[in-house]
Structure 1
Amino acid sequence: METMTLSSVLISIFCVIIVTGLIKVVNWVWLKPKKLERLLKQQGFSGTCYKFLIGDLKDFTSMRTQALKTPMNGFSNDYFQRVEPFRHHLASRFGNDFFLWFGPIPMLSISKPEMVIEAFTKTHDIRKPKVNPVFDKLFPGLVSYEGEKWAQHRKLINPAFHMEKLKLMLPAFCDSCAEIINRWEMVVAKTGSGELDVWPDLMKLTATVISRAAFGSNYEEGQRIFELLKEQTEVTLLMLQSIYFPGRRFIPTKRNRRFKDIEDKIHTSLRAIISKRKADIEAGEAVKADLLGILLDSNSKEIQQAGNNKNRPVGMSLEEVIDECKLFYLAGQETTSTLLVWTLILLSKHQDWQARAQEEVLQTFGDNVPDFEGLRQLKTVTMILYEVLRLYPPAMQVTRYVNKDTNLGAFSVPSGALITFFLHTIHRNQESWGDDAHEFKPDRFAEGISKATKGTNAFFPFGWGPRICIGEKFAMTEAKMALSMILQRFSFDLSPSYVHAPETVMFLQPQHGAQIVLHKL
């Protein structure tokens, strides 16, 4: 009898667990999405109807794959239909503000600058998305943290990006640029001009800058890390195109095993660089004026100041330092290389602006190596870089997760929804930028960003608010240095072989390279 009773209890517990699990699954894949769909439509939002489990992922993937098979018909700065064909299709139906389905999660596309700024500032209620943990593995560290941990890491990393520290990194910028320019001069040496695809060289340039400025090493030492990060990015994008469910990343699929293998190799390489640096410091060597040296010094001081105070954070662990270094590598290299490649492409198309920038650079520096104060005074070059960031922002979209029911403008956004801001749409809003919003006109920034946007401040290439990109000044200084040194030695125009085909891998880049004809000055 007791055995029967025990068996009955176990069966009952098992049934309760199964039923509870089924209820949660049904709620996740159907009841909650349909409830959120009703709430959004009641507030006047238009969007697609929810499809069981997959949402709009199938349509998104198939339309994007088809669009990337064909380059654009001629050169145009309006490339949204090629890069985001599904969202372009929805915008043509519903306007710029609509919702679609990322699996069972609604994703609201918002284009009004004031709502974007509000979302950027409500960091407690509107946070970085946690849709798929694999994304945090690719972009770890500061960019993925929230709350107190984010504040602590931001405080520790901030000293590395102060202006006086950037000045000390200028030789690393200069040496890296000089290597690429010397190679280009060999291309044009015989005839005074020559054609080459500058995209691989610009990626190598920014990789070298990060290796030197962040770790004091040359490109060869960091090359393997960049190769691994590139492969890991490709694997991640494939993983993000399918529905994530809890625990999926632990299933030993071929893709998951490859991702983990790459992750282990990257961590091993970075751990070796960091451990060697820590050993050098402990042996009495002076702290080097690179990002890693400054970070380790800042972290060490924080740990010492914390002392025995158990209520105070005690700095970063070794694994956290590794994560921040990985973020330096990926974000620092990819974003600046894309900014530079689109700058050269657009200046090749707009020879008048190339001539104006070249005149400013030569008047400021002559044949001398660009210095920090001179770079800060480059008004025309700065206007050009801003306009490139407006038309070709490295990150095409910014996504946030609504942590709890939140008011955003006149809307009440329900907890569990995603919000996405497409910079392509916001940066071409005619109310903010005028009727010529699709045109390359750097002089719109002649009196600053506020004037350029008619007071709306609808310019977010580095984000906004408390979480604005910590590396903004680093990236802009590097881009100014590279562009200045190129303009000191070359003029350039687009090759007839160039095919205009923007695409997003993780950042916006030319799918078929950037073939440019260089002319020696």
Structure 2
Amino acid sequence: IGGRKHKVMEIVAYYFLALFLLSITFVIYAWRLLDWAWFRPRKLEKCLRKQGLKGNSYKLIYGDIKELSKSIEDAKSKPLNVSDDDLTPRILPYFVQTIKKYGKNCFIWVGPKPLVIVGDPEVIRDVFSKHALYQKPKYPPQTKSLAKGILSYEEDKWAKHRKILNPAFHMEKIKDMLHAVHLSCSEMVSQWEEVVSMKESSTELDIWPYFQRLTSDVISRTAFGSNYEEGRKIFELQKEQANHVIEVSRTLYIPGWRFLPTKRHRRMKEIEREVQATIRGIIDKRVKGMKAGEANTDDLLGILLESNLKEIEQHGNKNFGMTIKDVIEECKLFFFAGQETTSVWLVWTMILLSRHSDWQVRAREEVLQLFGDGMPEFDGLNRLKVESLRLYPPTAALGRRITTKTKLGELTLPEGVMLSLPTILVHHDKEIWGEDATKFKPERFSEGISKATKGQMAFFPFGAGPRICIVLNFAMIEAKMAMAMILQRFAFELSPSYTHAPQSVITMQPKYGAPLMLHKL
């Protein structure tokens, strides 16, 4: 009996110990949750207000999310006037409202995190130049299925990847890819000529899907070369994945939710597996070919693999190179960055030139003077204007996060504060660009970007500093090549069916497409 009683006492003791530990764990997690949802935001708010920054008072968990979402929905509810390039009230309505209410030194609440709006060009320069202090925001885990790569890395890993990737995007290497870019552009222009030839006068054509296909075509050819068809398959899957990521990002992030086997989550997993398997197959074939001395190293993948191998051999340690998984992620990023930035650059340039026929004529004269009707060469491409990138930057704003107590301008910001560098607000700032800041005026860049910005950090469509978008040169050359070939062959104006409704999805896109009236020259 005594032994049984002792055993019961042991069980009770274990039970109470487990209950005690469970209670302690619950209290710790409850405290962390309370600190995350209330105490820390209030502490950050007090710190910001003490330094003269203004904004709404913090509201539990949601912050300004509801008001921010409503302002975006209201702004998107009706299109703009077809000649209106003042996009900020439509694209960043809550930013505009907050600045109007509190002045330029202000912040908003993105959930429990304060987001300081940084509009001073000199402060922006400081943020871009000190990338170790001001790091990229941490995005919800479900967005990583689209692309991680160099965009999401920091410090040593970022430096390693940038060093290995740089040779692939060196200007001389990009020049070598001009023929592949020209081939894709020629195919698109031929399709347009075929459509126009079926009509006697002019033809309406929605150019937006054509530009999306063109840029995916170019990245498939230049990234994967002989594996072009597999590259196109990857693009289609990545395009579908982007739509899923956008939908998921519009909902409140709940830790662990992505593991629930919903229809969307299952499909996202399937796409991720298929993309990784396809890219891995291409890489394995290339690596095997490189070892046999047969591989093509003229495309982005070949240059990347060659650069990676050199880095490993130079240090005699594979840790100095990328893993196959790393290479797969960079390939996924090629698709996302290379396709998105260029297609939106092209579509807004075409829309602007459709509205401003005088500039279309001048641009065409410049192209014909430089290239005649032949293949545009590299040196002349840089002379085409960048005004559309100022008015319609690929992304509306860039984000950074404070990882340690930091002096920024006249502010001392604690860890946990987020920064927004609102590209479109700075690009349209009348104090910087003058009263015609929201007008299409390419001549402002006639003496170069530095002269137009008066040396300020006021033009950064692709970011700036050490972390400037690595595909910048590639995107610009592709876009200018396409524009030159279009101007050589077509005149165009807006179709009566065009609706001017720019929207910021991942990049700045025309919500209802871009139907133009094309005329063969």
* TM-score with structure 1 setting the length: 0.94
Match of 1:267 among 270, 276, 287: 276
Contact 1:61 1:241 in 2 (8 A): no
The Cα offsets for residues 326-385 of structure 1, whole Å up to 9 and x where unpaired, read as 000011001000000000000111111111111111111111111223334xx2x1xx2x
Structure 1 stretch 417-426 or stretch 131-140: which is displaced more?
131-140
Aligned to 1:231: 240
Match of 1:322 among 308, 321, 328: 328
Q: Does 1:351 align with 2:363?
A: no
Contact 1:391 1:438 in 2 (8 A): yes
Aligned to 1:138: 146
- Matched residue type, 1:40: L
Aligned to 1:56: 64
- Matched residue type, 2:409: G
Q: Report deviation, 1:30.
A: 0.9
Q: Does 1:491 align with 2:491?
A: yes
Contact 2:345 2:389 in 1 (8 A): yes
Q: Does 1:82 align with 2:90?
A: yes
Aligned to 1:515: 515
Counterpart CA distance in 1 for 2:161 and 2:405 is 28
- Matched residue type, 1:31: F
Q: Report deviation, 1:2.
A: 4.8
Match of 1:283 among 269, 286, 292: 292
Structure 1 stretch 16-25 or stretch 41-50: which is displaced more?
41-50
Local SS of the residue matching 1:462? coil
Gapped runs of 5+ residues in structure 1? none
Percent identity of paired positions between Structure 1 and Structure 2 = 50
Contact 2:92 2:396 in 1 (8 A): no
Q: 1:238 to 1:87 in 2, by over 3 A?
A: farther
Task: Describe how 1:259-408 pairs up with structure 2 within 5 A.
Answer: 259-307=268-316, 309=317, 313-376=319-382, 379=383, 381=384, 384=385, 386-408=386-408
- Matched residue type, 1:197: D
- Matched residue type, 1:204: R
Aligned to 1:422: 422
Counterpart CA distance in 2 for 1:110 and 1:353 is 33
Local SS of the residue matching 1:516? strand
Counterpart CA distance in 2 for 1:73 and 1:446 is 28
- Matched residue type, 2:145: K
Report which of the two structures shows the higher radius of gyration computed on alpha carbons: 2
Aligned to 2:36: 28
Local SS of the residue matching 1:179? helix
The Cα offsets for residues 308-332 of structure 1, whole Å up to 9 and x where unpaired, read as x5xx833111111000000000110
Contact 1:339 1:394 in 2 (8 A): yes
Q: Does 1:185 align with 2:189?
A: no
- Matched residue type, 2:377: D
Q: Report deviation, 1:464.
A: 1.0
The Cα offsets for residues 169-218 of structure 1, whole Å up to 9 and x where unpaired, read as 00111000000100111122242532100000011111110000111157
What is the alpha-carbon root mean square deviation over aligned residues? 1.8
Contact 1:96 1:425 in 2 (8 A): no
Contact 2:381 2:480 in 1 (8 A): yes
The Cα offsets for residues 283-317 of structure 1, whole Å up to 9 and x where unpaired, read as 3314330100000111111122222x5xx833111
Structure 1 stretch 265-274 or stretch 440-449: which is displaced more?
265-274
Q: Report deviation, 1:130.
A: 0.9
Contact 2:52 2:105 in 1 (8 A): no
- Matched residue type, 2:462: F
Counterpart CA distance in 2 for 1:424 and 1:175 is 33
Local SS of the residue matching 1:216? helix
The Cα offsets for residues 223-269 of structure 1, whole Å up to 9 and x where unpaired, read as 33223222222222232233334434333344433322222222122
Q: Does 1:100 align with 2:125?
A: no
Contact 2:148 2:333 in 1 (8 A): yes
Q: 1:93 to 1:255 in 2, by over 3 A?
A: farther
- Matched residue type, 1:355: V
Match of 2:258 among 249, 252, 264: 249
Gapped runs of 5+ residues in structure 2? 1-8
Match of 2:203 among 176, 190, 194: 194
Q: Does 1:91 align with 2:99?
A: yes
Give the number of aligned pairs: 512
Local SS of the residue matching 2:276? helix
Counterpart CA distance in 2 for 1:285 and 1:508 is 42
Counterpart CA distance in 1 for 2:84 and 2:191 is 30
Local SS of the residue matching 2:320? coil
Q: Report deviation, 1:393.
A: 0.2
Counterpart CA distance in 1 for 2:11 and 2:423 is 66
Contact 1:152 1:313 in 2 (8 A): no
Counterpart CA distance in 1 for 2:380 and 2:208 is 27
Q: Does 1:440 align with 2:448?
A: no
Local SS of the residue matching 1:313? helix
